[in-house]
Structure 1
Amino acid sequence: MELNKEVLDCMKALRRRLREELEVDIRLSQPNAIGAMLDGSLKSIDEETRRLGQRLAELSDQPQRPTSTPIAAVELPSANPSGAVRIYRGQRVYA
């Protein structure tokens, strides 16, 4: 997907509204920033925020997902690894 000025302006406006309304901090550099913004706009009760989410979905060629689907599924390891476990940038790292 191409990020042009119109898409970035819409993302910035939606990001600002989501931060104020839902206290959600989304960075534009995140790999799933558009998906997170679309999910946040669906959870919003403000009509302008929902309209911005619909506009972003049109510009990014991504359908808006229903609110019942999770943003990202986390795969848990099936076996207990030996060694220490630490969290690095929100991910489990086995040392």
Structure 2
Amino acid sequence: MELNKEVLDCMKTLRRRLREELAVDIRLSQPDAVSAMLDGSLKSNDEETRRVGRRLAELSDQPQRLTATPLAAVELPVAPQTGSVRIYRGQRIYA
């Protein structure tokens, strides 16, 4: 991926928005900075942040990220509730 002015400006904008909205600190020097920013934009509830994330995906040649499903829309399987239930470190433990 080529880092030109347009890509860097998009990364800076998205980085600033993610820091304000999700309290995520991403450094531009990180080897996985682009993928971390794209993941953060998918978790965002702000449409402008998601739009900037889509633009970064287009510029960085990662179009498969554009169609990824946000985590909030994924249904998690629920274990059957038989027997007793304990809470351990915030997780349900079925005994």
Verify same fold: TM over 0.5.
yes
Instruction: Give 2:60's aligned amino acid.
Output: S
The 5 Å alignment of 1:70-85 reads none
> What is the RMSD computed on CA atoms of the aligned residues?
1.1
Q: Secondary structure at the match of 1:13?
A: helix
After TM superposition, where is structure 1 displaced by more than 2 Å over at least 4 residues in a row?
Answer: 65-68
Q: Does 1:51 align with 2:43?
A: no
CA distance in structure 2 between the aligned counterparts of 1:67 and 1:21, rounded to whole angstroms: 16
Structure 2: how far apart are the matches of 1:45 and 1:67? 9
Provide the rounded CA distance (Å) in 2 between the counterparts of 1:19 and 1:55: 18
Letter paired with 2:4 = N
| Letter matched to residue 58 of structure 2 | E
For 2:2 and 2:11, the matched residues in 1 are separated by: 13
Unaligned runs of 5+ in 1: 69-95
Identity of aligned residues (%): 81
Q: How many residues in Structure 1 have an aligned counterpart in Structure 2?
A: 68
Q: Deviations over 1:33-83 (max 9, x none)?
A: 000000000000000000000000000001314456xxxxxxxxxxxxxxx
Match of 1:14 in 2: 14
1:27 aligns with 2:27: yes
Structure 2: unaligned runs, 5 residues or longer: 72-95
- Which structure has greater helix proportion? 2
